[in-house]
């Protein structure tokens, strides 16, 4: 294969308050014409820095010490601004990480594509500009949205626009910087599908930067694993995923929660990437299970170990053969929850808008975000609430916690009713329900020490404590007393989340509400927090309402799962049976979209009747997107609740018909048109 | 929310604000404890003079009645009669407002150039020597009290190098050249005072926008630097500067008081000072109300412009 | 268990010896200028070459000389002595007025931003109305309204500065409080059932401190100009007490004969404001805040 672009011995340093830091060290790789190369690593490993250099771009405070980036034999790092301008967008194009902030907010999206084609004079001879733009939109599965502003499009649509823009001049190389981070699983899969499709049609090469190995399994031919600025392993993606050689790659793969149900015989990563704790030898040494004293002092470089495969580890052979005792146990540590009911939610409907006086007078009803929720938690049980963003998961949690008084419905804790509003609840009720938030950066007061953060709830609820109380709780979340005198800024994201969990546990709650508490963390950290929650569940006998969009994590933790779509419960089931027999078409779709570690060639099934729109509050909210709906019945009739062995399904299709062709190979090759939830001007 | 509805609600809020302003002014000037007539005439005034003034200002009526009388007349365009001169306030105000309007327009034109050019130069060359030099100059100018800057400019261009008149006295008989020459120094002073704030805000916001994802994408699309700056960066960076410009108009009204005083320019500002010195309460109330109205209107315009420049605001608010 | 709050390493970082080296240049220059001004003001409060109101210290209207570095005014008072004596007056008035405005504005703003609802709606409308009156006009109107008995009193000037500043500070504090109120640690405190005052002071105030500190510094920078402008227009401190703005206006007739008599006090005033501005600039950079301009 002919090399399209080659990176040689790239060394990049950043200027910081304490002098220069090396962020990229001796990185070399090449990408052939038409090849898809993936670059993977935890946040802060330098992968994006490398990627942007492929466009000849660096921030002002970064500095290339040595190295070359050869594109068609020309060193991009030595090119002047004018020549770079000619290459960028034209022959090397970027798909940015965050489409919402990357599209110019004051300009309609059509002109944003047009200016790119015009600048590079890349309009094919046989067409007009208008036609070309519509053609590009069609290529990425969008109708003509050229006259819309970016904020009028959904996240997935915005990303399609940036992709259309990137391929507008038929580039040779596409640099993709985490293009699906922040999108829902199903949208994520559609974008991946679109990219593979485009690659097949246009034949361009790709550099795909991500922290998500499972995604690379779907799209990349070869993968480079980066750690602390160095490439530690380069291999074909199937080889890497089935038999990783470097201990870091092994750990990274082991940290990914999957739903194949197999107990993997490896364990996740310890610690986090900290550039202030680097040994002079192998950078990974402080976190490596196979490290020897020699590792601490001997720097490691990439070595060819097999055909097209290289590793930077002198102990890779040992690492590949030696099996460590698995820490991960089966999916359920303790399934039998006690039978007494802890929390029950009946007929809950929620809305953020209070009906105004005018509305009340006219008898108008405002739209509820969440409708008719019935939910029950038994003592000590973990129930997961799953759904895409905007499905109302957190809204339900807010209502249970008392921060959003419901429009209708009742919430009962044990046998007494809970007051709908926070100020009506007794201190005892407040103590019994503890809430852990998504973002650990924001849930701890940055101006308080960990000690006062933990002491405050004890004082407030008048819980007696002695010198050991705080130490004990810190130990139970895997930290030590040394943390008490630190402030949140000195802690990593994972450590902060542990403090938030400790704060909740301190007051002996009966119910923990965990609101997406893993989504802001790196995969390796996620895996360890899941482990922690599992052990807490056993030791502390506390029930959890676990809110997540990630079915793989849910599988490891939850006893039962509730699936939410657009504010309505679609299905409620025991975890095991939900995963093996999803029944509801939406659950099915979610399960199929979650990427596995093997290339699965998944193509999302198009909706049966895309134009169908459900009558709000009456029809099935999934109508219009459902691949299996029987007809217009779904849109205007309320779907019945059908009891199943371990819960219920809300669907018009008869229960024995559901799940029958759950894995039908109806994979059609057409860019699925995302439902156009366009806001009106 | 549509632009029309937005505009309507903003106008409504502006009207409400002005209503509150009128209440505040009335409270401060006429409803504070103590005798208004004594405050106007001083403690040495004769009982007869006080009585005459009381009846002239209807001070014997309750405050609430007086307030509604005043605001009702005001809304109908009757601004009342000046105590000091006995002339209708509208007649006193009109020529002064016209003069100040001329001065402000000239000052505003100079301001636009003085604010935009240095800020763009700074943002494009951020971190370089030019940026630092302009930063130091703006900081120094920012620290000069307006009355001092006016006096310095007067000293430089009317005393040391006498190319412009020291006093900006104009009358109906002045030719437009004379008027323009007279207005240069006060207008430049006002423009500098406003520009130093705007430069800092515009520079910072432009730098922030230049660091944004969409400007980076525009660069990586291979657009020419000029297109990136003028098509993608500037329209988005200008919004915070717009708000400062609206604030600046408020400042302009205050600055006018000082600058007109230094250059003896017969405008709205000198009239306010005269009214204050003579304790001509009806005139004070009218001038302050008008200056508040100008400020509120300027903010209204800035808000609407911001919405037009940022389509995002049309739906999210 | 001892329930004492432990010392926080980062909160007292400014006590470190190495701290001074890490501060931005403007902060250092500003601090030096301000220290010089404070020392000058303290000296001037106790000793001046001539009495500040002493007439006939020399030949009236004679220009600058070694005995009279800033010359003499129309009634033969030594301008430098007046300038020196005025220093502490300007500093004290600025400081007192800003602190008072800060306390009132912060309390109102934080409460209104956190509580929201009708309380916020009403305070905001009043704040908005007060800001809509150009600040100089508002200050002058309040001085007139105070009547002849209070006119020229330092207390009045302090109150006027505070009243002009309070709504502007309240607006900043409100915005900060609204932003902080959305943070999850505030939600955690609410879920625990903490009261409003506890949340405002325990969770919000300290986290708004950076914004408020920069705002304080910014307002303090402008206070001497505002007080000077009042003096310049003849509505400030009652003569013969020397206030710099008043002195500039008194001696404006000497602009041709003896410019230093006008510009001496003027540049003194400007250098004080430069010191404050540099200090603010450095402070906002250190605290990662942007100082918002606009009087």
**What one-character-per-residue DSSP string does A588-650 give?**
HHHHHHS--SS-----PPPPSSTT--PPTTTS-TTTTT-TT--STHHHHSPPPEEEETTEEEE
- Longest CA–CA span in chain A (Å) reads 81
Residue of B nearest to C126 (CA): B20
Q: What is the mean pLDDT of residues A24-28?
A: 90
In this predicted structure, the answer to whether residue A526 has a pLDDT above a threshold of 50 is yes
Residue A678 is predicted with a pLDDT of 35
For B149, other C-beta atoms within 10 Å of its C-beta total 24
How far is A130 from chain B, CA to nearest CA, in Å? 19
What distance in Å separates the CA atoms of residue C116 and residue C120, rounded to the nearest whole number? 5
Residue C290 is predicted with a pLDDT of 56
Does C97 reside within a domain? yes
C19 and chain A in contact, CB less than 8 A: no
pLDDT band at residue A162 under the 50/70/90 scheme: very high
C18 and chain B in contact, CB less than 8 A: no
Chain A residues in contact with B311 (beta carbon < 8 A): 105-106, 149, 151
Residue A354 is predicted with a pLDDT of 65
What distance in Å separates the CA atoms of residue A183 and residue A190, rounded to the nearest whole number? 10
Tell me which of A154-158, A215-219, A659-663, C66-70 is least confident.
Answer: A659-663
The number of CA neighbours under 13 Å toward the Cβ of B130 is 11
Q: Choose, out of A423, A440, A445, the residue to mutate when testing the contact with C (most C CBs < 10 Å).
A: A445
Residue A355 is predicted with a pLDDT of 57
H and E: helices and strands count for chain A: 24, 24
For C120-141, write each residue's pLDDT tens digit.
Answer: 999 999 999 999 998 888 999 9
Q: What is the DSSP letter of A31?
A: E
Instruction: Give the closest residue to A227 by CA, choosing from A256, A249, A212.
Output: A249
- Using the beta-carbon criterion (under 8 Å), do C129 and B21 form an inter-chain contact? yes
- Residue environment code for C163-195, b if the CB has 16+ CB neighbours within 10 A, otherwise e: bbbbbbbbbbbbebbbebbebbbbbbbbbbbbe
What distance in Å separates the CA atoms of residue C178 and residue C200, rounded to the nearest whole number? 11
What distance in Å separates the CA atoms of residue A183 and residue A39, rounded to the nearest whole number? 19
How far is C46 from chain B, CA to nearest CA, in Å? 27
pLDDT band at residue A330 under the 50/70/90 scheme: very low
For B53-85, write each residue's pLDDT tens digit.
Answer: 777 777 777 778 888 888 888 888 888 888 778
How far is B273 from chain A, CA to nearest CA, in Å? 45
C-alpha B58: how far from chain center? 32
What distance in Å separates the CA atoms of residue B107 and residue B195, rounded to the nearest whole number? 10
Does C53 reside within a domain? no
In this predicted structure, the answer to whether residue A112 has a pLDDT above a threshold of 60 is yes
Task: Tell me the average pLDDT of chain C.
Answer: 83
Residue A662 is predicted with a pLDDT of 44
What distance in Å separates the CA atoms of residue C54 and residue A434, rounded to the nearest whole number? 73
C203 and chain A in contact, CB less than 8 A: yes
Please give the residue that has the higher pLDDT: either A358 or A604. A604
Chain C residues in contact with B152 (beta carbon < 8 A): 263, 266
The number of CA neighbours under 13 Å toward the Cβ of B8 is 5
C25 and chain B in contact, CB less than 8 A: no
For A77-87, write each residue's pLDDT tens digit.
Answer: 888 888 999 99
Contact status, residue C43 vs residue C225, Cβ threshold 8 Å: no
Does C276 reside within a domain? yes
Instruction: Give the closest residue to A187 by CA, choosing from A674, A580, A518, A635.
Output: A674
Q: Choose, out of A57, A81, A85, A104, the residue to mutate when testing the contact with B (most B CBs < 10 Å).
A: A104
Backbone φ, ψ for residue C162 (5° rounding): -60, -45
The rounded percent of chain A whose pLDDT value lies above 90 is 21
Q: How far apart are the first and last CA of chain C?
A: 50
What distance in Å separates the CA atoms of residue A205 and residue A4, rounded to the nearest whole number? 8
Q: Choose, out of B125, B210, B220, the residue to mutate when testing the contact with A (most A CBs < 10 Å).
A: B220
Helix (H, G, I), strand (E, B) or coil at A185: helix
pLDDT band at residue A206 under the 50/70/90 scheme: very high
Does C62 reside within a domain? no
Three-class secondary structure assignment of chain C: CCCCCCCCCCCCHHHCCCHHHHCCHHHHHHHHHHHHHHHHHHHHHHCCCCCCCCCCCCCCCCCCCCCCCCCECCCCCEHHHHHHHHHHHHHHHHHHHHHHHHHHHHHHHHHHHHHCHHHHHHHHHHHHHHHHCCHHHHHHHHHHHHCCCCCCCHHHHHHHHHHHHHHHHHHHHHHHHHHHHCCHHHHHHHHHCCCHHHHHHHHHHHHHHHHHHHHHHHHHHHHHHHHHHHHHCCCCCCCCCCCHHHHHHHCHHHHCCCHHHHHHHHHHHHHHHHHHHHHHHHHHHHCCCCCCCCC
**Residue in A437, A467, A489 nearest the CB of C184:** A437
Q: What is the mean pLDDT of residues A179-195?
A: 84
Residue C4 is predicted with a pLDDT of 37
**Residue in B25, B145, B250 nearest the CB of C270:** B145
Does C187 reside within a domain? yes
The residue segments making up the domain with residue C265 are: 24-44+70-286
Q: What is the mean pLDDT of residues A392-404?
A: 89
Q: What is the mean pLDDT of residues A653-666?
A: 58
Q: Choose, out of B221, B313, B315, the residue to mutate when testing the contact with A (most A CBs < 10 Å).
A: B221
For B224, other C-beta atoms within 10 Å of its C-beta total 13
Residue A267 is predicted with a pLDDT of 62
Tell me which of A657-661, B213-217, B249-253 is least confident.
Answer: A657-661
Q: What is the DSSP letter of A569?
A: E
Residue of C nearest to A437 (CA): C184
Contact status, residue A635 vs residue A613, Cβ threshold 8 Å: yes
Can you list the domains of chain B with their CATH numbers? 3-75 (no CATH), 89-315 (1.10.3720.10)
For A123, other C-beta atoms within 10 Å of its C-beta total 17
The ipTM value here is: 0.85
Cis peptide before C240 (omega within 30 of 0): yes
**Residue in C184, C190, C192 nearest the CB of A443:** C184
Distances, alpha carbon A641 to alpha carbons A421, A570, C287, in Å = 30, 9, 57
For C265-279, write each residue's pLDDT tens digit.
Answer: 888 999 999 998 888
Tokens of A275: 């550039």
What distance in Å separates the CA atoms of residue C90 and residue C269, rounded to the nearest whole number? 9
Within A443-542, strands assigned E span 511-515
Does C54 reside within a domain? no
Helix (H, G, I), strand (E, B) or coil at A302: coil
List of residues 6+ apart from B120 with CB closer than 8 A: B202, B206, B229, B234
In this predicted structure, the answer to whether residue A639 has a pLDDT above a threshold of 50 is yes
Q: Quote the number of domains for chain C.
A: 1
Within A42-110, strands assigned E span 62-71, 74-75, 92-95
For A469-521, write each residue's pLDDT tens digit.
Answer: 888 888 888 888 888 888 888 888 888 999 999 999 899 899 999 998 888 78
What distance in Å separates the CA atoms of residue C199 and residue A440, rounded to the nearest whole number? 19
Please report, for the domain that includes residue C144, its CATH number: 1.10.3720.10
Residue of C nearest to B40 (CA): C147
Does C263 reside within a domain? yes
In this predicted structure, the answer to whether residue A638 has a pLDDT above a threshold of 90 is no
pLDDT band at residue B122 under the 50/70/90 scheme: very high
In this predicted structure, the answer to whether residue B164 has a pLDDT above a threshold of 60 is yes
Neighbours of chain B (3+ CB pairs under 8 A): A, C
Task: Tell me the average pLDDT of chain A.
Answer: 82
Does C158 reside within a domain? yes
* Residue the block writes with tokens 């009946």: A346
- Using the beta-carbon criterion (under 8 Å), do B197 and C234 form an inter-chain contact? no
- Using the beta-carbon criterion (under 8 Å), do B221 and A165 form an inter-chain contact? yes
Chain C residues in contact with B144 (beta carbon < 8 A): 270, 273
Chain B residues in contact with A165 (beta carbon < 8 A): 221
What distance in Å separates the CA atoms of residue A524 and residue A493, rounded to the nearest whole number? 12
Instruction: Give the closest residue to B158 by CA, choosing from B58, B263, B255, B82.
Output: B263
Distances, alpha carbon A319 to alpha carbons A40, A246, A248, in Å = 20, 7, 10
What distance in Å separates the CA atoms of residue C177 and residue C171, rounded to the nearest whole number? 10
Tell me which of A381-390, A625-634, B276-285 is least confident.
Answer: A625-634
For A121-148, write each residue's pLDDT tens digit.
Answer: 888 888 899 999 999 999 888 889 989 9
Residue of C nearest to A487 (CA): C8
List of residues 6+ apart from C33 with CB closer than 8 A: C271, C272, C274, C275, C278, C279
- Which is it for strands A568-574 and A560-565: parallel, antiparallel or unpaired? antiparallel
Chain B residues in contact with A103 (beta carbon < 8 A): 214, 217
- Which is it for strands A560-565 and A543-548: parallel, antiparallel or unpaired? unpaired
Contact status, residue C245 vs residue C210, Cβ threshold 8 Å: no
Please give the residue that has the higher pLDDT: either A417 or C257. A417
């Amino acid at each position: 294969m002919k090399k399209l672009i080659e990176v040689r011995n790239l060394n990049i340093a950043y200027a910081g308050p304490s002098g220069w830091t090396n962020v990229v060290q001796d990185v070399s790789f090449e990408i052939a014409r038409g090849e898809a190369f993936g670059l993977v690593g935890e946040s802060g490993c330098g992968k994006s820095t490398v990627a942007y250099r492929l466009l000849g771009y660096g921030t002002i405070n970064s500095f290339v010490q040595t190295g070359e980036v050869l594109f068609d034999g020309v060193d991009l790092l030595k090119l002047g601004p004018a020549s770079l301008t000619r290459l960028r967008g034209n022959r090397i194009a970027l798909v940015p990480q965050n489409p919402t902030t990357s599209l110019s907010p004051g300009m309609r999206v059509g002109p944003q594509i047009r200016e790119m084609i015009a600048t590079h004079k890349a309009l094919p001879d046989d067409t007009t500009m208008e036609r070309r733009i519509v053609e590009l939109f069609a290529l990425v599965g969008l109708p003509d949205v050229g006259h819309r502003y970016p904020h009028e499009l959904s996240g997935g649509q915005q990303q399609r626009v940036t992709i259309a823009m990137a391929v507008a001049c038929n580039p040779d190389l596409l640099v993709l910087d985490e293009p699906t981070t922040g999108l829902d699983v199903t949208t994520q899969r559609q974008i991946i599908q679109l990219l593979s499709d485009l690659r097949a049609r246009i034949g361009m090469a790709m550099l795909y930067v991500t922290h998500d190995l499972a995604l690379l399994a779907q799209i990349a031919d070869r993968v480079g694993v980066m750690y602390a600025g160095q490439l530690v392993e380069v291999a074909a993606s199937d080889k890497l995923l089935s038999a990783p050689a470097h201990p870091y790659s092994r750990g990274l793969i082991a940290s990914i929660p999957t739903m194949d149900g197999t107990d993997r015989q490896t364990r996740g990563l310890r610690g986090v990437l900290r550039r202030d704790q680097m040994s002079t030898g192998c950078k990974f040494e402080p976190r490596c299970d196979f490290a020897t004293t020699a590792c601490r002092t001997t720097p490691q470089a990439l070595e060819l170990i097999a055909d097209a495969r290289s590793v930077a580890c002198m102990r890779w052979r040992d690492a590949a053969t030696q099996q460590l005792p698995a820490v991960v146990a089966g999916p359920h540590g303790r399934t039998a929850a006690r039978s007494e009911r802890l929390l029950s939610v009946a007929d809950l409907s929620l809305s953020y808008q209070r009906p105004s006086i005018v509305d009340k007078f006219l008898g108008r009803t405002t739209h509820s975000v969440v409708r008719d929720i019935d939910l029950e938690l038994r003592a000590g049980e973990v129930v997961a609430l799953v759904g895409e963003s905007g499905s109302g998961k957190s809204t339900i949690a807010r209502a249970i916690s008392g921060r959003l008084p419901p429009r209708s419905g009742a919430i009962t804790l044990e046998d007494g009713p809970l007051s709908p509003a926070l100020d009506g609840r007794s201190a005892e009720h407040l103590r019994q329900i503890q809430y852990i938030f998504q973002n650990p950066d924001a849930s701890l007061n940055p101006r308080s020490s960990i000690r006062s953060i933990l002491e405050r709830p004890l004082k407030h609820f008048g819980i007696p404590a002695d010198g050991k109380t705080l130490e004990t709780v810190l130990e139970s979340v895997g930290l030590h007393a040394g943390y008490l005198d630190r402030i949140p800024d000195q802690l990593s994201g994972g450590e902060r989340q542990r403090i938030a969990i400790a704060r909740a546990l301190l007051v002996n709650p009966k119910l923990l509400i965990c609101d997406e508490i893993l989504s802001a963390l790196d995969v390796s950290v996620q895996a360890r927090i899941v482990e922690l929650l599992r052990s807490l569940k056993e030791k502390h006998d506390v029930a959890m309402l676990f809110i997540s969009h990630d079915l793989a994590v849910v599988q490891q933790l939850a006893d039962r799962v509730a699936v939410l779509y657009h504010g309505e419960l679609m299905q409620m089931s025991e975890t095991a049976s939900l995963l093996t027999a999803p029944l509801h078409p939406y659950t099915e779709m979610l399960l199929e979209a979650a990427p596995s570690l093997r290339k699965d060639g998944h193509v999302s099934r198009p909706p049966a009747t895309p134009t169908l729109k459900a009558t709000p509050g009456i029809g099935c909210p999934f109508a219009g997107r459902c691949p299996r709906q029987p007809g217009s019945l779904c849109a205007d009739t309320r779907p019945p609740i059908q009891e199943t062995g371990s819960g219920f399904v809300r669907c018009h299709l008869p229960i024995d018909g559901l799940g029958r062709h759950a894995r039908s190979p109806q994979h059609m090759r057409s860019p699925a048109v995302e439902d156009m939830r366009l806001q009106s001007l | 929310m549509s632009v029309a509805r937005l505009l309507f609600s903003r106008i409504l809020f502006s009207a409400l604000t002005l209503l509150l302003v009128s209440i505040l002014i009335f409270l401060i000037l006429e409803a504070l404890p103590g005798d208004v007539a004594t405050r106007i005439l001083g403690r040495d005034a004769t009982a007869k003079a006080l009585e005459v003034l009381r009846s002239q200002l209807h001070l014997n009526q309750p405050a609430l009645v007086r307030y509604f009388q005043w605001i009702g007349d005001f809304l109908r365009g009757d601004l009342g009669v000046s105590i000091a001169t006995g002339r209708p306030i509208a007649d006193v105000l009109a020529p002064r407002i016209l003069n100040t309007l001329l001065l402000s327009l000239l000052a505003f034109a100079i301001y636009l150039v003085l604010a935009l050019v240095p800020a763009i130069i700074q943002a494009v060359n951020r971190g370089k020597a030019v940026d630092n030099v302009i930063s130091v100059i703006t900081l120094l100018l920012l620290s000069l009290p307006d009355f001092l800057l006016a006096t310095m400019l007067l000293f430089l261009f009317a005393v040391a190098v006498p190319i412009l008149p020291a006093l900006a006295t104009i009358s109906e008989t002045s030719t437009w050249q004379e008027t323009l020459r007279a207005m240069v120094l006060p207008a430049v002073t006002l423009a500098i005072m406003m520009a130093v704030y705007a430069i800092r805000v515009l520079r910072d916001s432009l730098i922030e926008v230049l660091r944004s994802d969409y400007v980076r994408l525009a660069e990586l699309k291979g657009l020419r630097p000029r297109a990136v700056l003028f098509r993608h960066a500037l329209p988005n960076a200008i919004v915070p500067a717009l708000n400062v410009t609206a604030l600046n108009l408020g400042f302009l009204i205050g600055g006018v008081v000082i600058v007109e005083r230094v250059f003896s320019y017969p405008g709205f500002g000198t009239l306010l000072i005269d009214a204050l010195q003579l304790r001509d309460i009806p005139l004070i109330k009218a001038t302050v109300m008008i200056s508040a109205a100008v400020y509120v209107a300027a903010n209204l315009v800035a808000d609407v412009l911001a919405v037009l420049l940022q389509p995002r605001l049309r739906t999210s608010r | 268990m001892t329930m004492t709050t432990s010392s926080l390493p980062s909160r007292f970082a400014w006590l470190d010896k190495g701290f001074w080296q890490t501060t931005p240049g403007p902060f250092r220059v500003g601090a030096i200028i301000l220290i010089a001004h404070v020392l000058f003001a303290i000296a001037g409060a106790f000793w001046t070459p001539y009495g500040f109101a002493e007439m006939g210290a020399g030949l009236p209207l004679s220009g600058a000389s070694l005995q009279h570095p800033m010359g003499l005014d129309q009634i033969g008072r030594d301008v430098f002595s007046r300038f020196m004596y005025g220093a502490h007056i300007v500093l004290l008035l600025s400081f007192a007025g800003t602190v008072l405005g800060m306390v009132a504005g912060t309390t109102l703003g934080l409460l209104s931003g956190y509580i929201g609802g009708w309380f916020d709606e009403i305070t905001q409308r009043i704040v908005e109305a007060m800001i809509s009156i150009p600040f100089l006009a508002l200050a002058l109107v309040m001085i007139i309204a105070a009547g002849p008995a209070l006119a020229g009193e330092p207390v009045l000037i302090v109150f006027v500065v505070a009243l002009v500043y309070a709504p502007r500070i309240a607006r900043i504090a409100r915005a900060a409080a609204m932003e902080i109120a959305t943070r999850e640690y505030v939600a955690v405190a609410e879920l625990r059932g903490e009261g409003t005052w506890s949340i405002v002071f325990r969770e919000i105030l300290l986290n708004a401190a950076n914004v408020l500190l920069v705002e304080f510094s910014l307002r303090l920078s402008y206070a001497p100009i505002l007080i000077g402008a009042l003096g310049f227009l003849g509505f400030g401190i009652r003569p013969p007490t020397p206030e710099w703005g008043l002195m500039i206006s008194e001696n404006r007739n000497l602009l041709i004969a003896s410019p230093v008599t006008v510009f001496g006090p003027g540049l003194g005033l400007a250098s004080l404001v430069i010191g404050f501005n540099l200090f603010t600039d450095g402070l906002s950079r250190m605290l990662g805040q942007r100082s918002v301009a606009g009087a």
